[in-house]
């Protein structure tokens, strides 16, 4: 009767709280990782941006397929760093 209804509501609330706690922990871990790797990502991004400028200058003076491939790879690396 009423006892079973109350117990099922209580278990549903406990389960929802457990899910919320797991989600909160996951978000905290993600935030900690973002803080931890912010500096590394910054330096990697700067290195790639410098290399990209260098490759583009070389492309302007002497366009080759090899330089275009390098440019494409650098742009891919830059996207990876920005969005992951």
Encode pLDDT of 24-66 as tens digits.
Answer: 999 999 999 989 999 999 999 999 999 999 999 999 999 999 9
Residue corresponding to tokens 């492309």: 59
User: Quick one: pLDDT band at residue 2, thresholds 50, 70, 90?
Assistant: confident
Task: Say if residues 81 and 41 touch (Cβ distance below 8 Å).
Answer: yes
Q: Compute the distance between CA of residue 33 and CA of residue 27 in angstroms, rounded to an integer.
A: 10
The whole-number pLDDT of residue 78 equals 96
> pTM of the prediction?
0.62
Q: Answer yes or no: is pLDDT of 1 > 80.
A: no
Crossing angle of helices 65-83 and 2-61, in 10° steps, is 150
The confidence score (pLDDT) of residue 26 equals 95
């Amino acid at each position: 009767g009423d006892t079973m209804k109350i117990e099922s509501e209580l278990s549903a609330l406990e389960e929802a709280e457990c899910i919320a706690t797991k989600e909160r922990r996951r978000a905290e871990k993600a935030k900690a990782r973002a803080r931890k790797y912010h500096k590394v990502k910054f330096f990697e991004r700067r290195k790639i941006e410098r290399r990209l400028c260098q490759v583009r200058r070389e492309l302007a003076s002497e366009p080759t397929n090899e330089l275009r491939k390098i440019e494409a790879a650098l742009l891919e690396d830059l996207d990876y760093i920005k969005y992951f």
